[in-house]
Amino acid sequence: MKALIHPGLLRGELPAPPSKSEAHRALMAASLAAGPVELENLGDCEDVAATLAGLRALGCRTEGDGTRLILTPGPPPARAEIDCGESGSTFRFLLPAAASLGAETAFRGRGRLPERPFEPLKAALEAHGVRFEQRPGCICAISGRLRPGRYELPGDISSQFVTGLLFALPRLPGESAIRLTSPLRSAGYV
């Protein structure tokens, strides 16, 4: 096969490939809005689908097709169950979000997710009014409503702890601060 290439200007459009980390964060930000938010290019992966299903469990409504989604925040339920699948982002973002809403929530997960660390985030949430309990088949179950205040946690275990709090704390009726006790790992994701 022979190909002859001539110099010239390129034209056209190419969509950017979806980013799983950006999709999680776009969904979380949309859940904080006062009204409907239109999202595009979220991609099609199990982790993002778990975050979307978790937001639905916490009262968000969605409509749209595979290329465009409209997310509308709604009133939170008194109780929820969230299957995080194998997604650490889903669990670590929705745990403080559910606590900020005061929704009694059971979190399930599979694969290695139940083994991944979340103790520093758990301790920070417990220090601010959230109660944890173990239930069969769950990573954890929470009750109580998150209170504003000063949150201290390490930054070198997971940047997702910080990101989860950054999405949850604006929902609270008062000022909050996050103080890292060690250097922030993966700062670009926060």
CA distance 11 to 1: 25
**3-class DSSP state for residue 122?**
helix
CA distance 190 to 181: 16
Given phi > 0 = left and psi -120 to 50 = alpha, else beta, which region is 158?
beta
CB 157 within 8 Å of CB 117: yes
Q: Residue 16 has what pLDDT?
A: 81
Backbone angles phi, psi at 179, to 5 degrees: -115, 125
Q: Residue 10 has what pLDDT?
A: 81
Distance of CA 187 to the CA centre of its chain: 16
Regarding pTM above 0.85, the answer is yes
Cα dihedral 31→114→124→169 (10° resolution): 0
Angle between helices 159-168 and 119-126 (to 10 degrees): 30
Measured over the CA atoms of residue 79, residue 82, residue 88 and residue 90, the dihedral's sign is: negative
- One digit per residue, the tens of pLDDT, for the chain of length 190 reads 687 778 888 888 887 888 999 999 999 999 999 999 999 999 889 999 999 999 999 999 999 876 799 999 999 999 999 999 999 999 999 999 999 999 999 999 999 999 999 999 999 999 999 999 999 999 999 999 999 999 999 999 999 999 999 999 999 999 999 999 999 988 888 8
Burial class (CB in 10 A: 0-12, 13-18, 19+), 35: exposed
Q: Residue 66 has what pLDDT?
A: 67
